[in-house]
Chains A and B, each alone.
Chain A
């Protein structure tokens, strides 16, 4: 049984009187101990998918129109708010993109870690504090006994993100969702934080969903990758398979646009055009205006998901032919 299974998730945003689809037919699964990477450009719906799993769409103009999210055999979307809150932070935890704003500025970092321990584990204050110090030590914050008393503004960006990780891990969650956890950090710090996440994931056996727009990060960390474009998963495969056997022209374009460090190149290869906005109605495959192998069929007919082999799925009319030039 998979730990988390998302099936045919559809999210729409309400603009005026129209419901515009922003995430369409997204399905994926995460097994225990597994790491799933979700890549895509800004606005492709990867963050929205994670917010839908966490149940954070309430109060936004975005709503879930259909689909199911099953976590350890439990349908999350049919739970009451209270039942859902008992899972949040306890069994599923999330790390946000902006460590600068994701800690409450008026509380000591220790108190913020303690909060979920006291709520979900009913620990006493002293015990929870001891655990908070252990957690800070686990995420390699120096002098955790002193740092536990610090306010967020007294920590650096990298340290804050470590605190966020400590908070997320407080109750030993089975699933950790990291939404671009390193985007707001320096490159050197990025590397440290990623190494930490990777290391903790392996040591604690937590399943991880890593959302990023950096294929390099994903390649280093994840067992399985899903590439999203304009609200759809266009290609999904085990990491090694995806990189060796690229099928969707978008994935191909993404990989090609990564500059190779030891080669002298004049021009970076970019995918031509831009991501269509959600207001633009596109017939056929959403990628067709930017695709280098598009033919007539691509402008009229949206490709279905094709299973290539085992766990490799792709949405492209020319998938089997391959697109390697």
Chain B
């Protein structure tokens, strides 16, 4: 109950973002109980029923193998959450460690941050494409690649914040109390970084969805048999004139989820740093 109240307080006056949060919760729940919701096996091929129109029993129609598009979308939600959480974890852990250590140990920082600079010089999608071509198509590799692409920005942000934090008097005070490097970094600096990390996580989650969809669409992301929204777009794109619903539903799901995540991210960012606050009522 208290959590609900706090959430409502944070999202006060941001109705659209609250709807976004609701949508994300829905996606998460759908992902969790996907086997219960999906009326058909998402892998089951049924050539007789191929390219059926949306209706009953195929809510979102069927694709060119006759697989139920609704079931695939439901399992796609699962992939979306897995990719999102996975990429966020990789990006935060890699980016966090690199950024914090770079700021804390100057010399190491000179080297590591130059590597980050080089990686950041590539456009995100290009970097992801290059890395994916080097690796095999799989869920883990997609997560690692997207995670590394966004680890660079995370590292940059946390580098700057740590650089500032380590000069704070309370860090000197902690040193005076006999705290070592580990204690300083993880007990005194890290907790002060929680809010920017949270904001960063919400945006990475959104961008990871787009990035994964883009990789899938270009045929370099998840293996094609895995039901993900990006893969559905990629596989059915040639039927855009004959069966447009095959593209509309997964496309809409991607757009709604990314948009929702961005709205929620905006609210979190405003809470952390009110300077960015846009004066848009209701969003």
Contacts and interface: CB of A to CB of B under 8 A. Distances in A.
A81 B183 CA distance: 14
Interface in B169-200: 169-170, 172-180, 183, 187-188, 191-192, 194
A96 B172 CA distance: 9
A97 B176 CA distance: 14
B191 A106 contact: yes
Interface in A221-260: none
Contacts of A56: 172, 175-176
A56 B168 CA distance: 13
Q: Determine chain B's interface SS by DSSP, over half rule.
A: helix
Given A85-B179, A116-B177, A102 B169 contact: yes
Contacts of A103: 170, 173
Contacts of B106: 59
Nearest to A87: B178
A119 B169 contact: no
Q: How large is the interface on B (under 10, 10 to 19, 20 to 34, 35 or more residues)?
A: 20 to 34
A86 B106 CA distance: 25
Given A59-B106, A88-B175, A106-B191, A101 B180 contact: no
A22 interface: no
A101 B178 contact: no
Interface string A54-96: 1110010000000000000000000001100111111011101
Contact of A90 (B172, B178, B180, B187): B178
B170 A102 contact: yes
Contact of A119 (B168, B173, B178, B194): B178
A168 B173 CA distance: 9
Contacts of B187: 115
A88 B178 contact: yes
Nearest to B181: A81
A70 B180 CA distance: 22
A164 interface: yes
A98 interface: yes
A167 B170 CA distance: 12
A101 B168 contact: yes
A120 interface: yes
A168 B172 CA distance: 13
A94 B173 contact: yes
Interface string B217-229: 0000000000000
Determine which residue in B170, B180, B194 has the highest number of CB atoms from chain A within 10 A of its CB, and name it. Answer: B170
Contact of A104 (B166, B170, B178, B194): B170
A88 B175 CA distance: 8
Given A104-B188, A106-B192, A119 B179 contact: yes
Given A104-B188, A104-B192, A106-B194, A88 B176 contact: yes
A105 interface: yes
A83 to B, nearest CB: 11
A57 B200 CA distance: 33
Contacts of B179: 85, 89, 115, 119
Contacts of B178: 85-90, 116, 119-120
15 contacts: A56-B172, A56-B175, A56-B176, A85-B178, A86-B178, A89-B178, A94-B173, A96-B172, A101-B170, A104-B192, A116-B178, A119-B177, A119-B183, A120-B178, A164-B173
Closest 3 A/B residue pairs (Cβ) = A89-B177, A89-B178, A116-B177
Given A56-B172, A101-B169, A115-B177, 12 more contacts: A56-B176, A85-B178, A88-B177, A89-B177, A90-B178, A93-B176, A96-B173, A98-B169, A104-B174, A119-B177, A119-B178, A167-B177
